[in-house]
Chains A and B, each alone.
Chain A
Amino acid sequence: MNALRFLPLVSGLVLAPFLLGVVNRVKAKFGGRTGQPLLQAYFDLFKLLRKGAVYSRTTTWVFRAGPVVGLAAVLGALALLPAGRHAPAAVSFTGDLFLLAYFLGLVRFVTVLAALDTGSAFEGMGASREVQFSALAEPALLVALAALARLTGGLGLTQITSALGPASWEVAGPALALVALALCIVFLAENSRIPVDDPNTHLELTMIHEVMILDHSGPDLAFILYGAALKFWILGALIVNVAVSWIGGGAAITIPAFFAGMLLVSVGVGVVESVMARYRLLKVPRMLWVGVALSVLAFTLIGRFTA
């Protein structure tokens, strides 16, 4: 099993930008376009890494630290993540699911600080929106993780994932489905996807996440984009770890199933973005409340199932 120890970490590092290519390809197909190359995200990253960065005179070290600390935190979160029942995470210990939540919180915190540091009205607005929405997305994520912990009796991501299996679905299938659904909502919100945010828009006034990173350039922007791709992978992996746990069998089945699941999540995001419009900004909290409600319901149900 030792050989598999670094599989989740390395595959995340290598494959995360590819998923964004899949999303774009699906959207292009729906729009009747050829679409950009599947590997475009990698090309963009390499292009940005070769460029210089421009810093406004009004910014301080906070602005420069944002992308670096943000990327480091995402990497930390990625290291805690298993890839299915038979591929444990590179780092795991009891209680690491709290560290995951805090790592994700830290990413947001430094991004918001860097945005505020620019002193721009746009970035201030974006920061305000980001914080407002994450105040609702975070409880949904934490309660969903707590529900899983309650079901499996473990407080570590690897413990939880390896304990989940076809048997758990027999015991608490509906609750697990609710958890997966709540995680999907958190996933869309945290990754700034439609219907919460539009990653493709050029309209500053409507942006949430994108407007906060307007002033970053060059390698800093590459760090942020790569970090965003990794975040997409991390939150996607949380969904997949729950959703594909009903598949039985050994590592030869569950590990490919995990990667197929990740691909499916990307296709799903592409489909959602193709068939629906963005919500009006002030209606987004309603959707996030649904996420919170679903995870609380799952948590309560699991109490019943395991009693």
Chain B
Amino acid sequence: MTDWRNACAIPLAGLADLSVWDFQDCVSVGLMKGAQLLALFGVPARVGGRQDAVAGGHQDAGASEDPDCVRLFAVLGHPGNGTLEPFSTVVKDSFLSLAPIHPQVQLFERELAEKWRVKPQGHPWFKPVRFERPSRDGADLWEAHPAACGTADFFRVGGEEVHEVAVGPVHAGIIEPGHFRFQCHGETVYHLEILLGYQHRGIERALTGGPGPRTLHFMETAAGDTTIGHATAHCQLAEAVFGLAVPPRGRVLRGVALELERMANHIGDLGALAGDVGFLPTQAFCGRIRGDVLNLTARLCGNRFGRGLVRPGGVAFDAEPARVREVVRLLEQALADATGAIDLLWESGSVLARFEGTGPVSAETATRIGLVGPAARACGLSQDVRRDYPCGIWADAPIEVPTLSTGDVFARARIRWEEIRVSAEWILANLADLPDGAVRAPDAPPTAAPWPADTLAVSLTEGWRGRICHAAVTGPDGRFAAYKIVDPSFFNWFGLAQALRDQEISDFPLCNKSFNLSYCGFDL
């Protein structure tokens, strides 16, 4: 059996359908052994499937030919050895839910139900995810499908003294829409339920039948503040299916862009965290320094968010030596400024009193719900795509992965600062010894060119919020039968709901900011 690694193209011909039972068993056992569920998604059953062999005894003969069936793909990642493990099966109307045993599966299963009308039997909290239009006909799983956004049964706590607070989708600040329903007793929150989907744009649906001229632009705006992260994940896919090798210089510049994105967002978040507890100095300075770091990305490609920089085969813009020197000088300046502004946080008792012990998530909960990124590392989960599934520059120039253990707002703030430092060091070290040569593979095909047929391609990147997974399945014509984007927010919103249990409702904005999740990255 081939060891699949990050950014791999798996021929569908080599991937036998398991029986639903075996499929669930493989996923479940894998998760119990510490694997991560990277993606779980469906395609119409006519796509893929090895016609000559049926692996499981329970297989419904001819199910893979049935146009009404759905083929499910699950991709497990084994962080211990960096391998990926794909599974596929065909289901018709329903399957047994894994969510009661493995909570990290719950949202994927609800998504499948919403998109493909396959019901996860025994799902503990069966609700729509994004209120999107289903992709095939079938039984109505909810009363009105698709339901109007925001209409769903909310978990309710009974009792006369319990009150319910509903926030959003329209908020007081200029932020994205989301609905938050608190079940409170006095100031204590017993339960928080988060309902999203107001920003659903149908990116995955629009990508079906691609790639096309707009594909990369969809990637760059899947979550606007993670442009580099999503673009990198997509380009790694393209490079895997076409067998492109990114030149060393291009690899470094991509890594630099990814880390600049991380630094800018983390600095902005720390400033916003300071603002939420009313601590002015750090708030004011971090807002400016975040802009300085974004401007560095603009120096590399002309856009502060890195739009148009990462392209299949490398990067679209080279950085001449003078430009590199300028970036290094400004980055050192920004890092010095950030150190001054952010150290104030750790030196100020009133700030620490607010951060420490607020919104804790235990390592056990974090593991069970599949928390990713800095939020997971703050709970003591040492996981990072750059180290666990190295790809591109991360295989040549590894990066340190700091972790903390308390899992509270303090840990989520502090881990950001550690990562800012580590990223800055990494950028400076790698820019100091930037390889010569081209920045983009000369044989990169045009973005709209069809991909190799009947292939499952998977790629991972560590965006600043955490693990980004892109998976594409191409049909016989080399067009996307499905393109799955898993933003880190997909996992972490549930972590925020967990963090609020037994906390004060007045600490919600602070907890929320400490996760700072994406609405549009979730809603897609």
Q: Which residues of A contact B (CB under 8 A)?
A: 27, 30-33, 121-122, 124-125, 128, 194-195, 198, 200-206, 273-283
Assembled-state Cα–Cα distance A194/B350 (Å): 11
Identify 13 new A-B residue pairs, CB closer than 8 A, beyond the known A30-B280, A194-B278, A203-B276. A31-B284, A33-B284, A122-B165, A125-B165, A125-B505, A205-B167, A273-B280, A274-B281, A277-B353, A278-B277, A279-B350, A279-B354, A280-B353
Q: How far is the CA of A122 from the CA of B351 in the complex (A)?
A: 25
Q: Are A205 and B281 closer than 8 Å at their CB atoms?
A: no
Give the residues in chain B near A204, CB-CB below 8 Å. 167, 172
A277 touching B358 in the complex, CB below 8 Å, given contacts A205-B165, A282-B187:
no
Residue B173 at the chain A interface, CB threshold 8 Å: yes
14 contacts between A and B (CB under 8 A): A32-B285, A121-B165, A122-B165, A125-B165, A128-B186, A198-B278, A206-B508, A206-B510, A273-B278, A275-B281, A275-B348, A277-B279, A279-B353, A279-B354
- Bound form: Cα–Cα A91–B348 in Å: 45
Asked if B283 is at the interface of the complex by the 8 Å CB criterion, the answer is yes
**Residues on B with beta carbons closer than 8 Å to the beta carbon of A282:** 187, 504
Given the complex of chains A and B, what is the CA–CA distance between A128 and B281 in angstroms? 31
B278 adjacent to A202 (CB under 8 Å): no
Q: Do B509 and A203 touch (CB < 8 A)? A: yes
A214 to B506, CA, bound (A): 17
Nearest-Cβ distance from residue A273 to partner chain B, whole angstroms: 7
B343-380 contact mask (Cβ, 8 Å, vs A): 1 or 0: 00000101101100010000000000000000000000
Identify which of B166, B277, B353, B504 contacts A121 (C-beta below 8 A).
B166
Interface residues of B in 260-316 (CB under 8 A from A): 274, 276-281, 283-285, 288
Most buried by B among A121, A277, A278, A280: A277
A residues within 8 A CB of B274?
277
| One of A121, A202, A274, A280 near B280 (C-beta < 8 A) | A274
Residues of chain B within 8 A (CB-CB) of A32 are 281, 284-285, 288
Residue with the greatest number of chain A CB neighbours at <10 A, chosen from B166, B281, B283, B506: B506
The answer, among A30, A31, A277, A281, for a CB contact under 8 Å with B504, is A281
B284 partner residues in chain A, CB cutoff 8 A = 31-33
Report the bound CA distance from A202 to B354 in whole Å: 18
B351–A277 contact, CB under 8 A?
yes
B60 at the interface (CB under 8 A from A): no
Residue from A124, A128, A276, A283 within 8 A of B279 (CB atoms): A276
Interface membership of B163, Cβ < 8 A: yes
Is B332 among interface residues, defined by CB-CB distance under 8 A? no
In the bound complex, CA of A32 to CA of B348 (Å): 18
Which 3 residue pairs of A and B lie closest in terms of their CB atoms, listed nearest first? A31-B284, A277-B277, A203-B509
A235 to chain B, nearest CB (A): 20
B25 interface contact, C-beta 8 A: no
Asked whether B278 lies within 8 Å of A201 as measured between CB atoms, the reply is yes
Q: How long is the Cα–Cα vector from A124 to B279 in the complex, in angstroms? A: 27
* B-side contacts of A121, CB under 8 Å: 163-166
Q: Does B111 lie at the interface of the complex (its beta carbon under 8 Å from any beta carbon of A)?
A: no
With a CB–CB cut-off of 8 A, which chain B residues contact A27? 280
Nearest A residue to B352 via CB reads: A277
Query: At the interface, yes or no: B507 with Cβ under 8 Å from chain A?
Result: yes
Fill in one digit per residue for B326-350: 1 if any A CB lies within 8 Å of its CB, else 0.
0000000000000000000000101
CB-nearest residue of chain B relative to A276?
B350
Compute how far the CA of A44 lies from the CA of B91 in the bound complex, rounded to whole angstroms: 63
Is B508 a contact partner of A195 (Cβ separation < 8 A)? no
User: What is the minimal beta-carbon distance from B188 to any residue of chain A, in angstroms?
Assistant: 9
Query: A204 vs B285: C-alpha distance in the bound complex, in angstroms?
Result: 24
From residue B399, how far is it (CB to closest CB) to chain A in Å?
32
Determine the chain A residues whose CB is within 8 A of the CB of B279 once the complex forms.
Answer: 276-277
In the bound complex, residues from chain A placing their C-beta under 8 Å from that of B354 are 277-280
A277 in contact with B348 given A31-B281, A206-B509 (CB within 8 Å): yes
Point out which of A27, A125, A273 has the most chain B C-beta atoms below 10 A from its C-beta. A125
Contacts A125-B165, A205-B165, A206-B509; is A278 near B278 (CB within 8 Å)? yes
Residues of A near B350 (CB, < 8 A) are: 195, 276-279
Docked CA distance A276–B280 (Å): 8
Also in contact, A283 and B280, with CB within 8 A (given A121-B163, A204-B167): no
Interface centre among B167, B278, B288, B358 (most CB of A within 10 A): B278
For B277, what are the chain A residues with a Cβ–Cβ distance below 8 Å?
277-278
Q: Which residue of A lies closest to B277 (CB)?
A: A277
Nearest A-chain residue to B510, judged by Cβ: A206
Closest partner residue, chain B, to A122 (CB atom): B165
- Closest beta carbon of chain A to B194's beta carbon, Å: 14
Q: Contacting A280 at CB < 8 Å: which of B165, B173, B504?
A: B504
Report how far A243 CA is from B506 CA in the complex, Å: 35
Task: Report the minimal beta-carbon distance from B53 to chain A, rounded to whole angstroms.
Answer: 57
Closest partner residue, chain A, to B351 (CB atom): A277
Contacts of B164 in A (CB 8 A): 121
- Whole-angstrom CA separation of A95 from B8 in the bound complex: 84
Least distance between B45 CB and chain A CB atoms (Å): 47
Give the residues in chain B near A201, CB-CB below 8 Å.
Answer: 276, 278
CB-defined contacts of B278 to chain A, threshold 8 Å: 194-195, 198, 200-201, 273, 277-278
A62 to B277, CA, bound (A): 33
Measured CA separation A231–B233 after assembly (Å): 57
Q: Which residue of A lies closest to B284 (CB)?
A: A31
A94 to B278, CA, bound (A): 42
- In B478-524, the 8 Å CB interface with A consists of 504-510
Determine how close the nearest CB of chain A comes to the CB of B300; give it in whole angstroms.
27
User: Which of B276, B277, B507 is the most central at the interface, judged by chain A CB atoms within 10 Å of its CB?
Assistant: B277
Closest CB of chain A to B42's CB: distance in Å? Answer: 38
Chain A residues closer than 8 Å to B506, beta-carbon distance: 205-206, 280-281
Residues of B near A273 (CB, < 8 A) are 278, 280
Do the beta carbons of B348 and A205 come within 8 Å of each other?
Answer: no
Residue on B with the closest CB to A194?
B278
Closest chain-B Cβ to A80's Cβ sits at a distance in Å of 32
A304 vs B133: C-alpha distance when bound (angstroms): 79
A281 CA to B353 CA in the complex, in Å?
11
A243 CA to B505 CA, complexed, in Å = 38
Point out the residues of chain B lying under 8 angstroms from A125, CB to CB: 165, 505
- Give chain B residues whose Cβ lies under 8 Å from the Cβ of A198: 278
Cβ-closest chain B residue relative to A198: B278
- Asked if A31 meets B508 with Cβ closer than 8 Å, knowing A203-B172, A278-B278, the reply is no
Instruction: Give Cα distance in the complex from A121 to B508, angstroms.
Output: 15
Minimal beta-carbon separation of A203 from chain B (angstroms) = 4
Contacts of B509 in A (CB 8 A): 203, 205-206
Cβ B353 vs Cβ A205 within 8 A: no
In the complex, are the beta carbons of B353 and A283 less than 8 A apart?
yes
Given contacts A30-B280, A201-B278, contact A276 B172 (CB under 8 A): no
CA distance A205 to B508 in the complex (A): 7
Residues of chain B lying within 8 A (CB to CB) of residue A30 = 280-281
Residues from chain B with a CB closer than 8 A to the CB of A283 are 353
- By a CB distance below 8 angstroms, the chain B residues around A278 are 277-278, 350, 354
With A273-B278, A280-B358 as known contacts, state yes or no: A202 contacts B505, CB within 8 Å: no
Which B residues are in CB contact (< 8 Å) with A277?
274, 277-279, 348, 350-351, 353-354
Task: For B164, give the chain A residue with the smallest CB separation.
Answer: A121
Q: Given that A32-B284, A202-B172, A204-B172 are known contacts, is A281 also in contact with B508, CB under 8 Å in the complex?
A: no
- State the Cβ distance, B64 to closest chain A Cβ, in Å: 51
